A and B are shown apart, each in its own frame.
Chain A
Amino acid sequence: MKIKNKKAQAGHAVTWLHKFLILVIVVGGVVAVVTAHYSKQYDMRDIEASTVARNIMECVAPNGIVDEFSEDAIRDCMYFNEQEIYINITLKNDNIALGDEFLFALCQAEKEKVKVKYYPSCLQEEYYVLKNNEDTKIDLFLAIKKVEKNL
């Protein structure tokens, strides 16, 4: 039905807008509640830790043979943000520690079940490699923070 009166037209528009607003609020509310209920966060840091560990080992012992074991060798070989990561590598009596050491303390806290808001992702691995044709064990400890980025 066509409305000819201008005031009636305006009134009709306001009523229509009002109904539309109510519809938006109701649908928005339903979507918000369902999303809040069913959505969850994913922690990707364990996958990142395993990739970083592989990169470190490729720097320290390419093809399983230790080439150069030094801080500079790792820094030159790969990029990492020192505020987001802690690397500790031990090869016999040599030890290299890079990054934020506080992350190591947080990993210890997680082990001892101390309550902290966010724990880093912690990884402890051992590799058997060759150095001058001798069997050598490498202990690798890795902690990744990245709470804002990958959690």
Chain B
Amino acid sequence: MEIKNKKAQAGELVQDTVGLVIVALLLIIFIIISTVLWGAPKKEIEKIATEQITKDQEHLSLQAWLQKTVEIEIEEEKQDITIAELIRLSKINPIYEEILNQEAEKSLGIYNYEFNKQAGSLFYIPSDEIITIRLEIK
């Protein structure tokens, strides 16, 4: 209904404004009292995790192991070679595979090595064929 009296119009406007302010105040008081009584609402915290640390760990441990020098007998002659070279030898001659496994047991702690192209720490060892190696937890 449209009010034609100007004073009545102004009165209605003031009434609406006062009503609005009272509602807002009541809401604020309600929020304050509920926070004091029951505490602020708990916000959910989502943890963002990454597997990068595990990969770094495997990567560094594998990199260190591949550079380790071991003394082995090749054609009745003792020679110092790195694990990377021993891996290449083991691919040519299976006799060296056992030595490689013994060295892995000694050095890699919680890990085993495996030759595959799965996601994770990968090393391509230069050879006639591409040798891919990674670590996995025992």
Contact = CB atoms under 8 A, between A and B. Distances in A.
A37 to B, nearest CB: 9
A120 B64 CA distance: 31
Q: Counting chain B CB atoms within 10 Å of each CB, which of A49, A57, A63, A64 scores highest?
A: A64
Contacts of A126: 57, 109-110
Nearest to A129: B64
Contacts of A11: 6, 9-10
B48 A44 contact: yes
Nearest to A36: B41
Nearest to A133: B69
Contact of B107 (A14, A18, A54, A128): A128
B136 interface: no
A75 interface: no
A151 B46 CA distance: 9
Q: Counting chain A CB atoms within 10 Å of each CB, which of B49, B65, B106 scores highest?
A: B49
A42 B44 contact: no
A116 interface: no
B61 A123 contact: no
Interface residues of B, number: 36
Contact of B47 (A39, A43, A135): A43
Contacts of B9: 11
B79 interface: no
Q: Counting chain B CB atoms within 10 Å of each CB, which of A65, A128, A137 scores highest?
A: A128
A65 B6 CA distance: 90
A21 to B, nearest CB: 8
B61 A49 contact: no
B101 interface: no
Interface of B: 6, 9-10, 13, 16-17, 20, 24, 41, 43-50, 52-53, 56-57, 60-65, 67-69, 106-111
